[in-house]
Structure 1
Amino acid sequence: MSSKRTVTIGFIGSNLDRVGKGANRWGHWRPSIGLCQQSDLLVHRFELIHGTDARDVSLAERIRSDIQQVSPETEVRLHPMHLRNPWDFEEVYGALDDFTNAYHFDTEHEEYLVHITTGTHVAQICWFLLTEARYLPARLVQTSPARRLNEEARVTGTHTLIDLDLSRYDRIAKRFSDRQLEGLAFLKSGIATRNADFNRTIEQIERVAVRSKAPMLLIGPTGAGKSFLARRIYELKRNRHQVEGRFVEVNCATLRGDGAMSALFGHTKGAFTGAQNSREGLLRAADGGLLFLDEIGELGLDEQAMLLKAIEEKRFFPLGSDKEVESDFLIIAGTHRDLRSRVVEGLFREDLYARINLWTFDLPGLADRREDIEPNLDFELERHAREQGHLARFNIQARRRYLAFASSTEASWLGNFRELSASITRMATLADSGRIDEAQVEEEIARLRRAWGLVDAADSVDHLLGERAGDMDLFDRLQLNAVIDVCRRASSLSDAGRQLFNASRQAKANPNDADRLRKYLARFELDWKQLNDNR
């Protein structure tokens, strides 16, 4: 222990401290007495809480007298506490919380221990909660009789200090770390993603998912995996016993008019033309579970107003009903739009935006996570094998060729991970004997290029240079084609130059990207207008 004075707080044990009569009591282990007999722990002050009836008061006075005999250095202060029912959790917690609030803690000069061996189980739990929440600036101390020792040691017993700063316990800390890693792997479906920004986002989502019931907002382009991630968050919460109901998903872009109100909030029979039967609605279906509202930015203003009430109050009116219904659900919203801009335009309610914007996570598209293409390729092959019972694998050359194309700037991945999944599924389905070869990869690359409106590399150079293209080295042909592709995607000559010379331009005091690109194209008798006329 340090040079600070040690102060112990605890209940008198109405049973354990009462054992033995007269001189016979010294032959029994009594936890409050034994704590003050520890050779390596000097208790300077003992704050002893006891009941208010005559029997408890008498016991408290006897315990104080006995402590002064075995430890004269210990000051004992008695605190009567009236509890109508010491097994009532709310009453006990409230009484101990009041005691804690009224107590003057001098942490500069004193260290505090909470004795959790005595008192009812309810009291012990309350002590733990108050200490763990740091309402009590203390550590826990637990005492026990020491068996298999001599009589004196057995009566004195032993003590154990418990520090609730769990980071100090390596094995416990490792359990928490392992549990978090399991959660991260679960959210990513075991995909060993490499994009640092995405991994940090998933780490934060995992912490929020297991600690908070507040709404989440997932922002990202179509196909970025918002729906997939929302379902994994739900499954993680369900595995941690935080939700028991269903996962309910709805694409708000498909909801219009009365159909939107009915789908979300339900309706009564006859609420509108065609409502021949009553309908529960998706919000009620999600009671006790999680509701994922994809493309929430597409909801109408009336639906937004009712949704806000449902999120905040957990109740709402079904369409055509004058009786409110209740549904306690968690919510995750998804969108590819800038909701702040829609608020400014008057298309999205500011109060609803504020309500769902507590935890907002940006999910980048595949084009911004090219380093994650390879692990996702392996994941998609494994998923195809599970679903179709057909294992497909690339040969080495085919895999290298596909990854080189898929990871290049030439691959735009307009449909993001959904498009990558479709691409791999096509090759796996067509693979003879489960082997994806170079011919299949070239066929798939050509299919993707056509879908993205790209001109074949060789055709592009041959078309622009004509007979001169035959005199070019392959190195120059590939380099020129890459430059042409950037130029055709860029909005201007300067924009193309900035993309092509982004790194080297930083070292120049006055970079002139447009002039640098113009001179390169002139080597092949090409100019900006000519490239864009031949798009």
Structure 2
Amino acid sequence: GRLLQLSPPRGRPIGDDVSGGHSIIDLDLSRYDAIATRFAAEHDEATSFLKSGIATRSPVFNAMIEQIERVAIRSRAPVLLTGPTGAGKSQLARRIYELKKAQHQVSGAFIEVNCATLRGDQAMSTLFGHVKGAFTGAQSDRPGLMKAADKGVLFLDEIGELGLDEQAMCLRAIEEKRFLPMGSDRDRSSDFQLIAGTNRDLSQRVREGSFREDLFARLNLWTFRLPALRERKEDIEPNLDFELRRYAERERQNATFNKEARELYLAFAVAPDAPWHANFRDLSASITRMATLAPQGRINEVTVRDEISRLTERWCADRVEAAGPERLLTTLLGGERMQQIDLFDRAQLAAVVAVCRESRTLSAAGRMLFSVSRTAKTSGNDADRLRKYLARFQLRFEDLSDAPGDR
């Protein structure tokens, strides 16, 4: 359609009988439809891009990916990825960066650092850089990872492990895009987008006083929790194929399952009692072991059964350890004998067993347990003393130690 727009005459009184001007406006909205269509296509393309690097069949996780995609395109605010270790936070952070780069929103690098590996001056120097002479061993300037992430994305994994001083400097860098390298009296600038990852409950750490409330408030604008592998068992099969492709690329040799072996492994992997404590790292390691041991690169039922036994044994040990000292003692002594031991003796025995399980030899465990009396020269043979103590409960060191050694 078209619209007729009238206007009064220019330079003449409105009351005069003089015709004004007019113009015809074309109401063809097809070009606006084309723009909207283009934006929708870009949205779909971006979603496909983000999902293409993440093998998932989970409806809940797919919905979250779509939300993350919209945030990645429309916002430069920090993004916080939470969830257990091995849930895929690092991989997702990199895909967000690749999406933003494909959309021409960033031109810099993707910089990743695990904050759990940073301590003291090393943390400051790694993140914010230093100038020559800032501390002993600082023989040259170092720009730091925040500067390296300029115009790109900085992924701080396990951000909950940062000290309070580093947290304060991170907050300023996020808000002002400026920071002060160690030993310098001049600020540096860096325009980066932050993605943070953690397996901690940061709100709890704020209450404990080990994480800054103001930094948490800045990070908590966009928070996405990645579910554990046991919460998305439908993703095990596509990730099985993904891990086989990764193995082939990394080792330059192919490995495949035969039909029966694949069905056997998947039935075990998706079972309700399969915990997958380390999530996708567990799954990746499991596939790598089978692919490496497979005869002529063909994973058969024998290989799968061996791997199932390996995982089952390890998961059982993890359950005992996670259950705490009481459960461990019950496993070692039996429920009936446990009821015959006083609470005081149980607590003492649990401490002794814990040291034994961490020690390679009976002598090493004895030295640790009786260090004070040995220093005071009031005890004799530490190993013999420990052996006699364990014998009171019909236990032997050989049954407790996690590692073999000269006993």
Q: TM-score normalised to the size of structure 1?
A: 0.56
Select which of 449, 464, 467 maps to 2:312: 449
* Residues 46 and 99, structure 2, Cα contact 8 Å, conserved in 1: no
Select which of 361, 383, 392 maps to 2:246: 383
Select which of 28, 34, 40 maps to 1:160: 28
Residue matched to 1:214: 77
Residue matched to 2:150: 287
CA shift for structure 1 position 177: 5.3
What is the CA deviation profile of residues 114-135 of structure 1, one whole-angstrom value per residue up to 9, with x for unaligned ones? x6xxxxxxxxxxxxxxxxxxxx
Matched residue SS, 1:160: coil
Are residue 335 (structure 1) and residue 296 (structure 2) matched?
A: no
Question: Distance between the aligned counterparts of 1:400 and 1:374, measured in 2?
Answer: 10
Matched residue SS, 2:4: coil
CA shift for structure 1 position 381: 1.1
Q: Partner amino acid for 1:164? A: Y
Q: Partner amino acid for 1:400? A: E
Residue matched to 1:396: 259
Q: Partner amino acid for 1:301? A: L
Q: Partner amino acid for 1:423? A: S
CA shift for structure 1 position 364: 1.0
CA shift for structure 1 position 386: 2.3
What is the CA deviation profile of residues 34-83 of structure 1, one whole-angstrom value per residue up to 9, with x for unaligned ones? xxxxxx524144699xxxxxxxx89xxxxxx9985xxxxx5x7xxxxxxx
Question: Distance between the aligned counterparts of 1:274 and 1:389, measured in 2?
Answer: 41
Are residue 260 (structure 1) and residue 123 (structure 2) matched?
A: yes
Residue matched to 1:182: 48
Residue matched to 2:169: 306
* Residues 6 and 20, structure 2, Cα contact 8 Å, conserved in 1: no
Question: Distance between the aligned counterparts of 1:386 and 1:313, measured in 2?
Answer: 42
| Greater alpha carbon shift after TM alignment, 332-341 vs 429-438 | 429-438
Compare relative contact order (CA 8 Å, sep 6+) and give the higher one, 1 or 2. Answer: 2
Q: Partner amino acid for 1:249? A: E
* Residues 50 and 99, structure 2, Cα contact 8 Å, conserved in 1: no
Residue matched to 2:108: 245
Residue matched to 2:2: 41
What is the CA deviation profile of residues 117-164 of structure 1, one whole-angstrom value per residue up to 9, with x for unaligned ones? xxxxxxxxxxxxxxxxxxxxxxxx4xxxxxxxxxxxxxxxxx733463
Are residue 374 (structure 1) and residue 248 (structure 2) matched?
A: no
CA shift for structure 1 position 211: 1.3
Matched residue SS, 1:433: helix
What is the CA deviation profile of residues 243-275 of structure 1, one whole-angstrom value per residue up to 9, with x for unaligned ones? 111111111111111111111111111112222
- What CA RMSD, in Å, does the superposition of the two structures yield over aligned residues? 3.1
* Residues 186 and 232, structure 1, Cα contact 8 Å, conserved in 2: no
* Residues 291 and 331, structure 1, Cα contact 8 Å, conserved in 2: yes
Residue matched to 1:227: 90
* Residues 247 and 286, structure 1, Cα contact 8 Å, conserved in 2: yes
Matched residue SS, 1:164: helix
Q: Partner amino acid for 1:378? A: D
* Residues 248 and 292, structure 1, Cα contact 8 Å, conserved in 2: yes
Residue matched to 1:205: 68
Matched residue SS, 1:258: helix
* Residues 187 and 236, structure 1, Cα contact 8 Å, conserved in 2: no
Question: Distance between the aligned counterparts of 2:323 and 2:268, measured in 1?
Answer: 20
Residue matched to 2:211: 348
CA shift for structure 1 position 173: 6.9
* Residues 255 and 299, structure 1, Cα contact 8 Å, conserved in 2: yes
What is the CA deviation profile of residues 415-445 of structure 1, one whole-angstrom value per residue up to 9, with x for unaligned ones? 1101101111111122223211000000011
Are residue 325 (structure 1) and residue 191 (structure 2) matched?
A: no
CA shift for structure 1 position 328: 0.8
Select which of 429, 439, 460 maps to 2:302: 439
Q: TM-score normalised to the size of structure 2?
A: 0.72
What is the CA deviation profile of residues 343-388 of structure 1, one whole-angstrom value per residue up to 9, with x for unaligned ones? 1111110100011111000001111111110111111112222222
Q: Partner amino acid for 1:213? A: R
Are residue 412 (structure 1) and residue 275 (structure 2) matched?
A: yes
Matched residue SS, 1:43: strand
Q: Partner amino acid for 2:265? A: Y
Question: Distance between the aligned counterparts of 1:431 and 1:315, measured in 2?
Answer: 53
In the superposition, relative to structure 1, how do residues 166 and 349 fare at CA in structure 2: closer, same or farther (>3 Å)? farther
Q: Partner amino acid for 1:161? A: L
Are residue 362 (structure 1) and residue 225 (structure 2) matched?
A: yes
Residue matched to 1:27: none
Question: Distance between the aligned counterparts of 2:270 and 2:276, measured in 1?
Answer: 10
Question: Distance between the aligned counterparts of 1:242 and 1:226, measured in 2?
Answer: 21
In the superposition, relative to structure 1, how do residues 303 and 488 fare at CA in structure 2: closer, same or farther (>3 Å)? closer
Residue matched to 1:510: none
Q: Percent identity?
A: 58
CA shift for structure 1 position 277: 1.8
* Residues 108 and 149, structure 2, Cα contact 8 Å, conserved in 1: yes
* Residues 248 and 282, structure 1, Cα contact 8 Å, conserved in 2: yes
CA shift for structure 1 position 183: 2.4
Q: Which runs of structure 2 are paired with 1:58-77 in the superposition (5 Å)?
A: 68=21, 74=22
Question: Distance between the aligned counterparts of 1:488 and 1:255, measured in 2?
Answer: 28
Question: Distance between the aligned counterparts of 2:134 and 2:210, measured in 1?
Answer: 26
CA shift for structure 1 position 313: 0.5
Residue matched to 1:106: none
CA shift for structure 1 position 187: 4.3
| Greater alpha carbon shift after TM alignment, 424-433 vs 401-410 | 424-433
* Residues 187 and 206, structure 1, Cα contact 8 Å, conserved in 2: no
CA shift for structure 1 position 228: 1.1
Select which of 376, 401, 423 maps to 2:286: 423
Question: Distance between the aligned counterparts of 1:321 and 1:490, measured in 2?
Answer: 50
Matched residue SS, 1:209: helix
